[in-house]
Amino acid sequence: MALRIGPYPGPFAAQDGLTTLMVDLAASLVAEAGKHHLALAELQIDFDCADSKLSGYRLWVEAIRRKVAPVPVTLTALPSWLSRREFEGLAAASDGFVLQVHSLAWPTGTDAPFSLCDPAAARRAVERAARLGMPFRVALPTYGYVMAFDREGRPVGISAEGLSVAWPREVRRLDVHADPAAMAALVRAWTADRPASLQGIVWYRLPTSEDRLNWQWPTLATVMAGRAPRGALQAEARRPQPGLVEIDLVNAGNADRPLQVVVSLRWREARLVAGDALQGFEWIDAGPTEVRLHPTTNLALVRLGPGQRRMIGWLRLSENAEVKVDVSPANP
C-alpha cells in the first residue's frame, strides 16, 4: 500500500499538527486494509521531498513507522538524495527504500533527445545506493506521456491520455515512452550481476485497459524476463461473404506498435465495385486493380497493443478474386 504526499516545503517537527495528521492517516490506511482481511507487505511513503529537507522528512518516517508497526515502512527515494549526507539517516529510519530512477523533466524542445530513464544513469544510481548497505529496490518505468509545445517551443502541457482538448490546435507534439529494450537490458544486467542489497525491481505503472500510453501485459512480461519485446504489424484479408474483403491490422508481436504503415491491396481479374477506409486510414486509388490505405494524422498517437486487431478498410469486388495484401512503413 502506498501513501502519496503532495509537495510540502516544511517546516517539519516530531510532534505537531501536520505530523499527527500524517501518522493518523497512515494508521487509518493500515486499519482499513485489516478490516478487509488484507495482509500488507509494507506501507510505502511516496514523497518527493526537497533534497535539503531530508532530515525533516525523517521525523515523519520515524513517527509513522512507530505507529503502524509491525507493518514495514518503506519510502521512495530520488537519485539526487544519494549525494546528501542526511539520506543515510532517512533510509535507516525506514525498512528499506525504492530508488526511483525514472523521471519526467521537460526537454528543451520537440527535437531534443529525451528519455524517461537513462540506463547508464540508472546503473550508476544503483551502485551508489548499494554502498549504503541497506536493502532497496529500483523502480523502472512502463508508462508514456504526450508533451505539447507552442510554436516558439515553450511547454504547453502534458497528458497521459493523448492530446488535451484544452490545448491550442497548433501545438507541436512530443510522444515519450519507456523504452522496453533498454529496460530489458537493465533486467538482464542486474540478473547476471547485482549488488547484494538490491532486492528487486518495482514497475511503474502496472498495465490497465484504460492506460493507452502504458505497456500492455505481454510487453511487461517479456521485459521482466530480460528479453526485448518486438511489435509485428500484419495485415489480414478476411472474406465474410463472396466478393467482400475486410482488411485488419493485427499486432502479432509482444510490444505496442504505432499504426504508421501503408497497406497495399492488389487483385486481378475482377472489378472494384465499392470500398472504403476505416478508423483513421485514408483510401488512395493506385490504379484499376490496386488500392492503398494510408494513415491520417488522427492516428499519430494511436498504438496497437500485442494481440490486438483493428479493421482499417473493406472492398467489394465483382468476382471472388484473390487479394494480395502488403504492409510497408508510412515514412520509410
- State pLDDT tens for residues 38-51: 999 999 999 999 99
Helix (H) or strand (E) holding 153: none
DSSP output for 6-51: --------SSSHHHHHHHHHHHHHHHHHHHTT---S-EEEEE---G
Q: What percent of the chain has pLDDT over 90?
A: 80
Rounded average pLDDT over 20-49: 97
Query: What pLDDT score was predicted for residue 146?
Result: 84
Tell whether the model's pLDDT for residue 332 goes beyond 70: no
Q: What is residue 313's DSSP assignment?
A: E
**How far out from the chain centre does Cα 117 lie?**
11
Q: What is the pLDDT of residues 116-169, one digit of tens each?
A: 999 999 999 999 999 999 999 999 999 988 888 888 888 888 887 666 767 887
Range scoring the smallest mean pLDDT among 66-80, 97-111, 157-171, 286-300? 157-171
pLDDT band at 213 (very low <50, low <70, confident <90, very high): confident
CATH number of 233-329: 2.60.40
Position 174 confidence tier, pLDDT thresholds 50, 70, 90: confident
Residue 210 has pLDDT above 90, yes or no: no
Q: Pinpoint the residues of the chain covered by CATH 2.60.40.
A: 233-329
Question: What's residue 265's pLDDT?
Answer: 98
The secondary structure of the chain in percent helix, strand, coil, rounded to multiples of 5, reads: 25, 35, 40
C-alpha cell of residue 283 = 483510401
Per-residue confidence (pLDDT) for residue 173, from 0 to 100: 79
CA–CA separation, 160 and 251 (whole Å): 22
Whether residue 176 is predicted with pLDDT greater than 90 in this model: the reply is no
**More confident position, 163 or 311:** 311
Tell me the whole-structure pTM to 2 decimals: 0.86
Q: Classify strands 2-5 and 43-47 as parallel, antiparallel or unpaired.
A: parallel
pLDDT for 109 beyond 70: no
Higher pLDDT, 161 or 259: 259
| Section 4-30 average pLDDT | 96
pLDDT score for 35: 96
User: In this structure, which amino acid lies at residue 78?
Assistant: L
Predicted confidence (pLDDT) per residue in 219-251, tens digit:
999 999 999 999 899 999 999 999 999 999 999
Domain with CATH 3.20.20.80 in the chain: 2-142+178-224
More confident residue, 299 or 34: 34
2-142+178-224 homologous superfamily = Glycosidases (3.20.20.80)
Query: Has residue 315 got a pLDDT over 70?
Result: yes
